[in-house]
Structure 1
Amino acid sequence: MDKSEMDKINGTNPESTDQAPSLASRPDEFEEEESLVTPDALSARIGGFQIYAGSVNWGVFGSMKIVFLKSKLNVLIPCGFLAIFLNYMTQRYGWVFPLSMLGIIPLAERLGFATDWQISCEVGRLLNSAFGNATELIISIHALSRGKLHVVQQCLLGSILSNLLLVLGSAFFSGGLACGKTMQTFSKADAVVNSGLLLMAVMGLLIPAALHYTHSEAQFGKSELALSRFSSCIMLVAYASYLYFQLSNNRRRNEANVYPCMPLIKRRIQDDVDGNDDEVPEISKREAISWIAIFIAWISMLSYYLVDAIDGASKAWNIPVAFISVVLLPVVGNSAGHANAVMFAVKDKLDISLGVAIGSSIQISMFGIPFCVVMGWMMGKPMDLNFHLFETASLLTTVLVVAFLLQDGTSNCVKGLMLFLCYLIVAASFYVHADPNSKASEKPPQN
């Protein structure tokens, strides 16, 4: 009996034995597919759409559904149209002002949502930084173009005070209650850098005010304005350096980590393995850019009516313009950030809460205020860094209190309650503050 007959009896096939590769020699299917299909090729195949929870966002209607139906705040959007209608039909500014505020709040939240996509880790953070306080800047530019310089100053000041005291205090208090910890911790090094930037911003505002009230200007009215413009340029350079420092550090951290900036699908798989619950952007990059442009234009239109109704609302409600500018206007831009800061603090992600609250304050103080000074310079408006004695003193004490509470890198309910109570004191002080400079701030243009 030959060998072939013996193989047939034993049930073996010599041809199949020779052709079948061993299991060890077979390449892994996933490794082979991963090497053949790159992330860029995969992104090109799906047309730039983002994958979210196993589904793909198809077209304009899907994007509109996500943008307009995913947030409960969108029920306030019709308030903006009602404000425009009342402005032209009745000119009852006591109603136009609150309706404009309510109409802007959901738009500001959706603008933040539209900037929540990432071309890369670094560009994504830069976009979030650039658009984080877009609402306050749009309102300030409208007030600046109307010559309401002190309203601009008080609106930006109120945004800083609201973020440092109300938003941060709420985050500390809520996080301490929800997490059941005696102390929550955060990065002490980042807190020190942020406190230093805030103190630098206070110095930029304090010196022009001191120059004005000590009557030590070389040329009255001109030296103060020239110093403000020079200091604003320096502060913009400092803020640009801060952004570069932050992005460089993030890039180094990403290179040191295993998968911080992975392609979308791999990052989602790894996050599922690690238990991370970070949300994946639900709209494509083109759609995000389009929605950013739409929301900025929409906010700009409503801000026009909002600024125009400030004086009328002050008379109708019998409350000071300073209280409206410092306390009420910041609610428009800070509402979404307030909710996010509290949400992350409840999840024991206090560093993110600090990034929302203190990061917004740094952007307003180191970028927003100098930017408005430069814009006023270009418009021929005498916008300066002299925020007057009462406003500057309020900012200085606020920054000192916050810097003192952040120095140990811990937070608890008591610290949050202290910050919240400090905000109530500041709000009450602006309610009883009779601003002697409200009319003086409407100065004639100077070159």
Structure 2
Amino acid sequence: MAAQPEATFSTRQRTVIVRPRDEEEAIQSSNGQHLHAVNMKSPTKSENSHMSMHLPDKKELVHLWDRFTRKGKRKIGVVESLRAIFYSSWLNIFLLLIIPAWVSRFRHFSPTVTFTLTFLTIIPLERLFDYGGEQLAHYLGIELGDLIIITLNNTVEATLAIILLKKCELVILKSTIVGVVILHLLLVPGTAFVTGGARIIEQDLHPHLTELNHSLLTLGVLSLMVPAAFFAAIDGGFVPTTSGAVNPVVNDEIRGMFLKMSRGVAILLLCVYICSRIYLHNPPGDDNALSLHLAADAPEAFKHEATHLQETDPEVNQWVCLVMLATCIALMAATAEFMVESIEFVRESGHIQVEWFGLILLPMVSFAADGTVASAFFVQYLFRHFFREPTPPTTLAKGRAIDLSIQFTLFWMPFFVLLGWWIGKPMTLLFDLFEVCVLIGACFIVNYVTADSKTNWAEGVAMVSFYIMIALCSWFYTGQTEVNFMSQCGTVAAAIAKAATGSSEA
């Protein structure tokens, strides 16, 4: 009998060859395992459709540039975009205070007036950051959109940290870094879990994202534990000499060693963070073009969010959105600096410990604008719930603040170390032991609460309570003297001599 011709079917990623029945054979894979025999008859229409279910269709794989430019879709006009930005929130009315706030600073008005005006000015800028990030998510996808939103939400804290680094306030800077991280690990998500879980037994987190966040958060915290443990291990207290007792580890040579270690660790942390973003944007596998939010085990709320971004049109043109965000960042950088300068009088007049000022007060001030926005929307939600039709409870837990902490430890903190290296500031990853311990505790409770990818309001109360415990104890903490000397600009010997001179004069 004559041999039947082979039928070849081409797909997006591979070519499937269908052989005749009399040439049926088992195909051996490269690892020695045997695959099933391929059916020799030509596949029917239903069989072809079954094969295509496992292979991403070309129409589903929208190139990033095509999506960003909205190829084949309606373009949003400039006038329409400006109108949408203007009406995006009633908080935009506070943008009128930008000029009075700047005048107050340059005319040297009362620090209280300057702080109030700058604080009210930052509120609408924070809201525009959120709105702009949400709009860009339509053009870039949910993963890159989330990354932009997280980065923009960290803008105020990052600006504050850069100002402190420029002024060489390294002790306060390190306390502020830890304070920002524990604020976004405990207080912010804890409050969200309490309010979000008040009317539902539990809320969901994405299991894949939660598992990855556990590893990234733990790594970021341990990157501070290792230098602190190293310093504690080599600190022998004192050694007797003919000129008296001195500490053998508080000197410029040891600090130089920590500078080298910190810069190496900073580069590694940045590499880990970049790899994690690549993984989230383009996960491996045959369905790597599909979002993790559309995975089979993803909560329905995440699938709905990803589908909503694909099917709905944005309100703002992508180029207008980028210009708006760039303008807001420039205004935010200057206004945040003015706000930080105006808050200095609180520390000086209130005799507040440096640790509490950096660990609690500055992070709260930097987040206060965003917190005010959240509070305003929460009041609006309560009004709608009690006086209008109640909103059904959502099953999606608000855990984006945890992503903010991860970015701050894996990206911004090593960035500050490398920036300090560039501008000649001795920024190291040697942090106060008390700060490292509370950070490890915060990491532990967050990972424990989110281990099952579910949350409830009782766990939110526990997180908020632990933050209050830290704030209470840090009020009485004066700081680790050895680490404070290692965090001074200039030479360590000069800082010790200056402190000794000041003590003798006192």
TM over 0.5: yes
1:325 pairs, out of 345, 349, 362, with 362
Match of 1:141 in 2: 162
Contact 1:104 1:332 in 2 (8 A): yes
Contact 1:157 1:326 in 2 (8 A): no
Contact 2:156 2:366 in 1 (8 A): no
The count of aligned residue pairs is 383
2:105 pairs, out of 78, 87, 94, with 87
One-letter amino acid matched to 2:103 = F
Match of 1:30 in 2: none
One-letter amino acid matched to 1:222 = G
Q: CA deviation at 1:374?
A: 0.9
2:217 pairs, out of 198, 202, 220, with 198
Contact 2:193 2:455 in 1 (8 A): yes
Match of 1:224 in 2: 258
Distance 2:371 2:479 in 1: 24
Match of 1:444 in 2: 490
Q: Does 1:72 align with 2:118?
A: no
One-letter amino acid matched to 2:110 = R
TM-score of the pair, normalised by structure 2 = 0.66
1:395-434 aligned within 5 A: 395-434=439-478
Distance 1:436 1:94 in 2: 31
Deviates more, 1:387-396 or 1:189-198: 189-198
Contact 1:376 1:382 in 2 (8 A): yes
Q: CA deviation at 1:319?
A: 3.6
Q: Does 1:233 align with 2:277?
A: no
Contact 1:232 1:371 in 2 (8 A): yes
Query: Deviation digits for residues 37-65 of structure 1, max 9, x if unmatched?
Result: xx98x95788731xxxxxxxx434x4333
Shift in alpha-carbon separation, 1:397–1:111, aligned structure 2, 3 A = same
Structure 2 counterpart SS, 1:249: coil
Match of 1:290 in 2: 323
1:40-439 aligned within 5 A: 48-49=75-76, 58-60=77-79, 62-116=80-134, 117=136, 118-121=138-141, 123-178=144-199, 180=200, 182-215=201-234, 219-249=253-283, 255-256=289-290, 280-320=313-353, 321-322=357-358, 323-332=360-369, 346-350=393-397, 353-354=398-399, 356-435=400-479
Distance 2:289 2:476 in 1: 53
Query: Deviation digits for residues 367-419 of structure 1, max 9, x if unmatched?
Result: 11111111111111111112211211111111111111122232111101111
Distance 2:157 2:104 in 1: 23
Contact 2:129 2:149 in 1 (8 A): no
Percent of aligned pairs with the same residue?
Answer: 22
Query: Deviation digits for residues 296-326 of structure 1, max 9, x if unmatched?
Result: 1000111221232332232245544333224
Q: CA deviation at 1:340?
A: 8.9
Distance 1:405 1:196 in 2: 14
Q: CA deviation at 1:109?
A: 1.9
Distance 2:182 2:282 in 1: 29
Distance 1:221 1:341 in 2: 47
One-letter amino acid matched to 2:318 = K
Could you say which structure has the greater relative contact order, defined with CA pairs below 8 angstroms and 6 or more residues apart?
Answer: 1
Q: Answer 1 or 2: which has greater helix percent.
A: 1
Q: CA deviation at 1:363?
A: 0.6
Distance 2:175 2:169 in 1: 10
Q: CA deviation at 1:184?
A: 2.6
Structure 1 counterpart SS, 2:195: helix
Contact 1:155 1:330 in 2 (8 A): no
Shift in alpha-carbon separation, 1:120–1:345, aligned structure 2, 3 A = farther
Gaps of at least 5 residues in structure 2 are 1-58, 60-65, 236-248, 295-302, 382-390, 493-506
Distance 1:401 1:413 in 2: 15
TM-score of the pair, normalised by structure 1 = 0.74
Shift in alpha-carbon separation, 1:107–1:256, aligned structure 2, 3 A = closer
Q: CA deviation at 1:110?
A: 0.5
Deviates more, 1:288-297 or 1:310-319: 310-319
Gaps of at least 5 residues in structure 1 are 1-33, 50-57, 261-269
Shift in alpha-carbon separation, 1:79–1:100, aligned structure 2, 3 A = same
Distance 1:150 1:333 in 2: 25
